[in-house]
Amino acid sequence: MLYSLIANAYEKIEATTKRLEMTDYLVELIKNTPKHIIDKVVYLTIGELYPPFEGVELGIAEKLAIHAISSVTGKTEKAILDDYQNTGDLGTTVEKFITKKTQATFFRQPLTVEGVYDTFAKIARSTGGGAQETKIRLLSSLLNDASPKEAKYIIRMITGRLRIGIADMTVLDALAVAYGGGKKFREEIERAYNLTSDLGYVAKTVAEEGLGAVEHFKIAVGKPIRPMLAERLSSSQEILAKMGGKGVAEYKYDGLRLQAHISPKSIQLYSRRIENLTDQFPDVVRALREAIVAKEAIVEGEAVGVDPDTGEMLPFQMVSHRRGRKYEIESTAKEIPITLFLFDALYVNGKDYTMEQYPERRRELQKIVKPTDHVKIAEQIITSDPSKLDEYMDQAIADGCEGLMVKDLGPESFYTAGARQFKWIKYKREYKSEMADAVDLVVVGAFAGRGRRAGSYGALLMAAYDHESDMFKTVCKLGSGFTDEDLANMPKMFAQYKIPHVHARIDSKIKADVWFVPTVVLEVIGAELTLSPSHTTGWNAIKKGAGLAIRFPRFTGNWRKDRAPEDATTVDEIIKMYNRQLKKIEVEPKIA
């Protein structure tokens, strides 16, 4: 398959401002792809080479890419850098500089998808002495055979900035249309994806074996399962009512969620976002080896930092120091030891437990764990009494937890991979006041600053994620809570996401001065939610002709680097927060 087919499709996808057209172009690309390489085309389109949980990084340093561009185009590295500083995108720069004349046309071979993919894979895997030279040589050979347009996407891909804004859900939609004949097949395909977290594998199975094959998808050790998620409510009565009167209240530990895949040969740890964190937590791997008595298992828990002197649980920030580290892993593990509080068992010795009720999964968990200082089972009580729940909440908070996670124990209490339902409900203390809970919002645009902020941005346009339509809907303009340093750096920091028109997945009535590919997630807190004629979150949901907006939004200082834009707070959650707030105002009228 010619790589130009991919480059043409990306160009069309990038140019459209309509979400539907975006899917259409992707469907066309999928249909034009021979079945045996559909996995590769899918990985490339989401900017990856393999499923992300394998942890193979393609990204090469811009410096190396500039070196390769210089050697192919004959331009100096300084000229390339100068142009790049203007465009903010090395892809655009290379597209401009590569011309037929600059290349050794005599030897030019049309690029194939297989060839480009294999070269990327070699680049990703070359390590050790001489790796830099090898990477430059391989990249130069690709650029030498590439048309300007192809070179643009090769450079973007290789520097980790493909920025066409296609996410997993967009691919699932397109697969359903291409192979199933319509979006109604999306649910089945999504289920297969939720059980394996591997879009390429799902695409290839559907392409080669048909839709029927996804029905038989099974979970397996080594293929992370998309985590079950929780809804939130703010009163113990409401929570128990949702659970049919009775529920399991568990401590809600404030740490890092880990899914451990255990086999006799290895233990792998995956994050909530399915990244492979095994290398960062060798102490957790050792602790699990000691505590788990099953031969094979998939278990889930929350990793919490503990004070080595007192054994008390530490705030979340401490465990996050352990994440993303490449050096001093063992010494940091000594400074911030971890206890893993296990709360679920999904697979044990060949048996899939995801379709078992929660009490049965917990029983199995207790059977296979021999608790130690570093691996424990989550504390819980079963109750039907709201006042007991509140008491237990106080106890959990006093013990250093964030609150409770209340879980269904009825006949439907399966492990629903990738879904947020009322089978698990978060109960955190902050919900007792209006909008005291922060939300995670996506930066979709910006407005030029004035006065003290001249030359930078005065405010950012923020959006919530709408799972249903796979769009980002605006909910506020955010201008406060930033440090002077944040403000000064912002234009430079966001340059890489800048696009000349509104992105096809953004739904906005407001015209920003600058638009971005939805990428960066920030934590925002506000005073309350109000109806708004200008924001699109919850449009027509509460009142016809109105959406919802956050009043007095403020950045909390938390750049949620661990969040994908699709993990941001959803439009549905904001509508629910608004409804709860209304109820509260009715029940507890403000005293003047």
Q: Which residues bind ligand ATP (CB under 6 A)?
A: 229-230, 250-253, 257, 272, 302, 343, 378, 405, 426
The minimum distance between CB 550 and ligand ATP, in angstroms, equals: 16
The minimum distance between CB 343 and ligand ATP, in angstroms, equals: 4
334 in catalytic set: no
Q: Which amino acid is at 116?
A: V
Nearer to ligand ATP, 302 or 364 (CB): 302
Nearer to ligand ATP, 13 or 405 (CB): 405
The minimum distance between CB 160 and ligand ATP, in angstroms, equals: 24
Whole-angstrom distance, CA of residue 117 vs CA of residue 114 = 5
The minimum distance between CB 401 and ligand ATP, in angstroms, equals: 7
Whole-angstrom distance, CA of residue 175 vs CA of residue 200 = 11
185: its two tokens: 């097949």
Q: Which residue is nearest to ligand ATP (CB)?
A: 257
Tally of CA atoms within 13 A in the half-sphere of 185 that contains its CB: 20
The minimum distance between CB 298 and ligand ATP, in angstroms, equals: 15
Angle at 565 between CA 438 and CA 581, to 5 degrees: 30
358: its two tokens: 């929660």
Closest CA to 153 of 348, 27, 11: 11
Cβ proximity of 31 and 1 under 8 Å = no
Nearer to ligand ATP, 50 or 422 (CB): 422
Nearer to ligand ATP, 163 or 423 (CB): 423
Q: Which residues neighbour 127 within 8 Å (Cβ) at sequence distance 6 or greater?
A: none
Cβ proximity of 270 and 259 under 8 Å = yes
Nearer to ligand ATP, 252 or 374 (CB): 252
Nearer to ligand ATP, 72 or 568 (CB): 568
Q: Which residues neighbour 14 within 8 Å (Cβ) at sequence distance 6 or greater?
A: 164, 499
Nearer to ligand ATP, 248 or 506 (CB): 248
499 burial via Cβ count (<10 Å: 0-12, 13-18, 19+):
middle
Closest CA to 38 of 212, 205, 217: 205
Cβ proximity of 89 and 191 under 8 Å = no
The minimum distance between CB 443 and ligand ATP, in angstroms, equals: 18
The minimum distance between CB 455 and ligand ATP, in angstroms, equals: 35
List residues bridging with 554 in a β-sheet: 480, 525
Q: What is the DSSP string of 408-420?
A: --STT----TT-E
Residue in 252, 426, 428, 473 annotated catalytic: 252
C-alpha torsion 415→420→421→427, nearest 10? 100
Q: Which residues does the annotation mark as catalytic?
A: 252
